Amino acid sequence: MNRLLSIVGPTATGKTKLAVKLAKQFNGELISADSRQVYEGMDIITGKDRPAGVKVWLYDVVKPNQLFSVVDYYDLAWQAITNIWERKKLPILVGGTGFYIQAVLEGIGTMGIGPDWDLRQKLTNYSINELTDYLNKIDSERWERMNESDRKNSRRLIRAIEIASQRKQETVNSEQSRKMLKFDSLLIGLTAPFDELYKRIDRRVEERLKMGAEREIRALLDQGYDWNNSILGATIGYREWQDFFEGKATKEEVVQRWKYDEHNYARRQMTWFRKTLRQAQGKWFDIGKSGFEKEVEKLVKDWYS
């Protein structure tokens, strides 16, 4: 039977490093499950590792001003998984975007509703108010269910309109489709106490500053992307810099806010994983425990063999 290994957990837990090690040991290839690593030019801040000798799928899929939904991810991820299986290798799903991981492993309710590129093009220049009016006209209940953050996010509004526009059409049941692809899945979760996790996050932010985080954002702005016409304004590590580039904040203030937002994101990730993927087959490991990698390797070896 085909096998699918997943390495998941909050930011800064060393998921990719472990996944690369396992890929080399078990003849595998990585599939990024990160909602921001799909964007071209967003490399340093999103932490795109490009390990020698190991292929990583789903980097640089779209430009920062293009829409990309979980449906798009699901389609591309499964194309990658089946390609890897066909070459008798082990696909390793690795990342911290829980919704993407859940989509691949379990399927989701809107999975049968694919992207409507004509509609997306039509709506791309609509304001938040115009998108709100559009959605309320066709599905006011969906608007009521959205949280405040999503109501202010043009991409989330466009996706909601897309789903509402197609909801009366006959769609493919994603769970049935998923079950047609029989596979054995193992999930490895990485975690750490929050105080230790915050220290790791802070060190990583400092490292990315040294690597050229500010330069990367400046290059994106020079290409014509900004905080409103692209994903930059909705992405941790980028959005915090807006005030700096507009002369409203110091670099020190930006860095402190960036670290705080990463801490908050890590807490939300752990809450999500515990609630949503707790039933998945597999085991969670504390990365601070000595020898945890050896335990992971043994677990994977026993499962894969």
Neighbours of 7 (CB within 10 A): 30
Closest alpha carbon to 122 in 114, 112, 130 = 130
Name the least confident of 25-39, 91-105, 133-147, 284-298. 133-147
| DSSP β-bridge partners for residue 95 | 8
* Average pLDDT of span 272-281: 67
Looking at residue 106, its pLDDT comes to 79
CATH number at residue 286: 3.40.50.300
Q: Please check whether residues 293 and 209 belong to one and the same domain.
A: yes
| Banded model confidence at residue 111, pLDDT cuts 50, 70, 90 | low
Q: Please check whether residues 11 and 127 belong to one and the same domain.
A: no
Q: Is the Cα dihedral 108, 111, 112, 113 positive or negative? A: positive
Looking at residue 174, its pLDDT comes to 45
Q: Please check whether residues 74 and 143 belong to one and the same domain.
A: no
Average per-residue pLDDT for the chain: 89
Looking at residue 108, its pLDDT comes to 61
* Average pLDDT of span 65-75: 88
Q: Please check whether residues 74 and 185 belong to one and the same domain.
A: yes
Q: Please check whether residues 101 and 211 belong to one and the same domain.
A: yes
Looking at residue 137, its pLDDT comes to 84
* Average pLDDT of span 93-122: 81
For residue 6, give the amino acid letter: S
Q: Please check whether residues 80 and 181 belong to one and the same domain.
A: yes
Is residue 300 within 8 Å of residue 187, measured between CB atoms?
no
Higher pLDDT, 15 or 173: 15
170-219 per-position pLDDT tens digit: 344 444 444 445 789 999 999 999 999 999 999 999 999 999 999 999 99
Q: Please check whether residues 9 and 149 belong to one and the same domain.
A: no
What is the spatial distance between Cα 247 and Cα 289, in angstroms, rounded to a whole number? Answer: 44
Total structural domains within the chain: 2
Report the run of H or E that residue 298 belongs to, with start and end.
helix 292-304
DSSP code, position 39:
B
Looking at residue 173, its pLDDT comes to 44
DSSP string, 3-24: EEEEEE-STTS-HHHHHHHHHH
Domain of residue 101, residue span: 2-112+172-304
Looking at residue 167, its pLDDT comes to 62
Looking at residue 171, its pLDDT comes to 41
Q: How many angstroms separate the Cα of 64 from the Cα of each of 36, 54, 147, 230, 233?
A: 9, 25, 24, 5, 10
Residue with tokens 């998923």: 178
Q: Please check whether residues 190 and 217 belong to one and the same domain.
A: yes
- Residue 106, token pair as written in the block: 């379990």
Looking at residue 163, its pLDDT comes to 83
Q: Is the pTM of this model over 0.75?
A: yes
190 in helix, strand or coil? Answer: strand
Is residue 27 within 8 Å of residue 87, measured between CB atoms?
no
Q: Please check whether residues 165 and 180 belong to one and the same domain.
A: no
Is the pLDDT assigned to residue 162 strictly greater than 90? no
Closest alpha carbon to 92 in 15, 40, 39, 36 = 15
What is the spatial distance between Cα 262 and Cα 205, in angstroms, rounded to a whole number? Answer: 9
Is the pLDDT assigned to residue 45 strictly greater than 90? yes
Looking at residue 109, its pLDDT comes to 61
| DSSP β-bridge partners for residue 183 | 2
